[in-house]
Chain A
Amino acid sequence: MTDAGPADGPVPSVVVIVGASVGGVRTAQALRRESYQGRIVLVGAESDLPYDKPPLSKQYLGGQWTAERVALLTEDAAKDAEIELRLGVAAEHLDVAGKQVVLSDGERIDYDAVVLATGSYARPSPWPVESGVHVLRTIGDSKALADDLADEGPVVVVGGGFIGAEVAATAISLGREVTIVDPLEVPVGRVVGNEIGALFTDLHHRNGVSTHFGTGVESVEGSAGDLTVRLTDGQTLEAATVVVGIGARPNDEWLASSGLLVDDGVVCDEYCRAVDAASVFAVGDIARWMHLGHGERCRVEHWTNAVDQASCVAHNIAHPDDLRPYRPVEYVWSDQYDWKIQIVGRPARGTGHQLIGDLGRPADPDAATPRAVALYSDGAGQLIGAVIVNWPKALIASRKLLAAGTAFADAVAHLEGLAAAAPQPVRTDT
């Protein structure tokens, strides 16, 4: 491949962005914020206008929000920002030497810089049945699931991670009977450790959701309205609807023919440029970039990462003489029942933790709202991550302390001071 790229060269006159979800849309918008004057072409495989994904397992699925409310970019906004939309047509090939994106309808779009932002897809259900088994990734998925959740009948959620937990919380709020199945004893333990993860399991139970954790799914049979889920421990669950939330995979298969180095995501340098093609950038779920703060390549599937990475990439495209390394503090949220959960940094890498606050739910409805922060220490005694529930001030403090680099003991003292200074607010949602 011969691709000197824009580094130290001129600002590119055409930027093609492949992928029209939050990473792609925010890259296009950020380019204009950076006063980029050239052409911007935004390619998206789906024919729907760009939309936001976090509400698809929550407010949109539950029927509180409309499609309009989850829009990321309207036609008018695209026009105003001079973003050319090519929607409903997938990119099939990247010609790195010829600097062209080849679309499924045969069109070839020339680029000076290309941004790969094709995101990820839901890992498909390994249990093929005629109907009634859902995955959740696109707005179409969410609509189809919402339709089935409108029918009475029990719901089985396979996968106890955040998507599964959010779907369970939404389904029970709609009056369904809900059971979650996961092969891990503590599904959220992968992210927050088993001790704190167990509190998340309790949360399901307090809200009336049953769990079969530590048990896999053997098979799913039947069709919508009449499904049988057979578990590895021999039990069977009857379900009208099954939701499979067992993770996502990066949408990088279309790049196999490009010759780019792809290894569970597009392998990028610290500026989010492909290591073997300096005109190629990657943003969001598909980017495996060198995080200088961590000293290793990372791939992150979270909303805030896509937005922050989009800003960084837009800057690096518009200012090739002032490249910025991308080194964020990780941040993800999940809203389940009456818990607003936020995870900052990398608690999964922690070697120990301390919980400040209380996450038990008092029987007295006038008692304080449960709120807490769990701080995580690395082996060297530095703060490495935090899990926050229902405590905005602790969220802000944790994000700042992690960004600054803070000793674990100092972080604990800081958050304990915060707890002492402001008593827990009284429940107001009863």
Chain B
Amino acid sequence: MAVLKADFEACQGYANCVVAAPEVYDIDDDGTVVLLKQEISDEDRAKVDEAVSSCPTSALSIED
């Protein structure tokens, strides 16, 4: 299964990932991304790809 990664230093809390995949990403009170899942199913893949590509600071990635 694909594993989610996040660069917590790079994250600026723009929240595009939360809009693209709300069941996978959240933002905490300090404006840093929170991974709600460690691994994602093939079903979620398209949404998560969308979230990754919509991050303005390229803070998100997926490791297969």
B14 close to A333 (CB less than 8 A)? yes
Bound Cα distance A78, B27 (Å): 31
B18 close to A396 (CB less than 8 A)? yes
**Interface size bucket, B side?**
20 to 34
A33 close to B19 (CB less than 8 A)? no
Given known contacts A54-B56, A304-B54, A396 and B15 CB-to-CB distance under 8 angstroms:
yes
A392 close to B16 (CB less than 8 A)? no
Chain A-chain B contacts (Cβ-Cβ < 8 Å), number: 57
Task: Tell whether A307 is near chain B: CB-to-CB under 8 Å.
Answer: yes
Given known contacts A304-B16, A340-B13, A392 and B56 CB-to-CB distance under 8 angstroms:
no
B15 close to A395 (CB less than 8 A)? yes
Given known contacts A33-B49, A304-B56, A311-B53, A399 and B30 CB-to-CB distance under 8 angstroms:
no
Q: Which of B1-51 contact A (CB under 8 A)?
A: 12-16, 18-19, 22, 26-31, 46, 49-50
Query: What residues of chain B lie closer than 8 Å to A30, measured between beta carbons?
Result: 53
B54 close to A307 (CB less than 8 A)? yes
Given known contacts A304-B54, A311-B53, A425 and B29 CB-to-CB distance under 8 angstroms:
yes
Bound Cα distance A311, B50 (Å): 8
Instruction: Specify which of B14, B26, B54, B56 is in contact with A308 (CB 8 Å cutoff).
Output: B54
Task: Tell whether A337 is near chain B: CB-to-CB under 8 Å.
Answer: no
Task: Tell whether A422 is near chain B: CB-to-CB under 8 Å.
Answer: yes
Bound Cα distance A396, B12 (Å): 13
Bound Cα distance A400, B15 (Å): 11
CB distance from B36 to the nearest CB of A (A): 13
Bound Cα distance A349, B56 (Å): 26
CB distance from A33 to the nearest CB of B (A): 5
Q: Chain A residue with minimal CB distance to B27?
A: A392
Query: What residues of chain B lie closer than 8 Å to A311, measured between beta carbons?
Result: 50, 53-54
Residues of B within 8 A of A (CB): 12-16, 18-19, 22, 26-31, 46, 49-50, 53-54, 56
Instruction: Specify which of A33, A52, A392, A400 is in contact with B30 (CB 8 Å cutoff).
Output: A392
**8 A-B pairs with least C-beta separation:** A392-B31, A392-B13, A392-B27, A307-B54, A33-B49, A396-B15, A395-B15, A396-B18
Bound Cα distance A308, B22 (Å): 16
Task: Tell whether A393 is near chain B: CB-to-CB under 8 Å.
Answer: yes
Given known contacts A333-B14, A392-B15, A396-B15, A340 and B31 CB-to-CB distance under 8 angstroms:
yes
| B contacts with A: majority SS | loop
| A contacts with B: majority SS | helix
Task: Tell whether A29 is near chain B: CB-to-CB under 8 Å.
Answer: yes
Q: Chain A residue with minimal CB distance to B49?
A: A33
- Contact flags A394-428 to B (C-beta < 8 A → 1, else 0): 01100110010000000000000000001001000
Q: Chain B residue with minimal CB distance to A422?
A: B29
Task: Tell whether A194 is near chain B: CB-to-CB under 8 Å.
Answer: no
Q: Which of A328-378 contact B (CB under 8 A)?
A: 331, 333, 335, 340, 342
Bound Cα distance A308, B29 (Å): 26
B56 close to A399 (CB less than 8 A)? no
Instruction: Specify which of B28, B30, B56 is in contact with A303 (CB 8 Å cutoff).
Output: B56
B53 close to A29 (CB less than 8 A)? yes
Query: What residues of chain A lie closer than 8 Å to B15, measured between beta carbons?
Result: 342, 392, 395-396, 399
- Contact flags A310-336 to B (C-beta < 8 A → 1, else 0): 010000000000000000000101010
Q: Chain A residue with minimal CB distance to B55?
A: A307
Bound Cα distance A186, B22 (Å): 36
B12 close to A340 (CB less than 8 A)? yes
Query: What residues of chain A lie closer than 8 Å to B29, measured between beta carbons?
Result: 392-393, 422, 425
- The 20 sampled A-B contact pairs (Cβ below 8 Å) are A33-B46, A33-B49, A33-B53, A52-B56, A304-B54, A307-B16, A331-B16, A331-B19, A340-B13, A340-B31, A342-B15, A392-B13, A392-B27, A392-B29, A393-B29, A395-B13, A396-B27, A399-B15, A399-B18, A425-B30
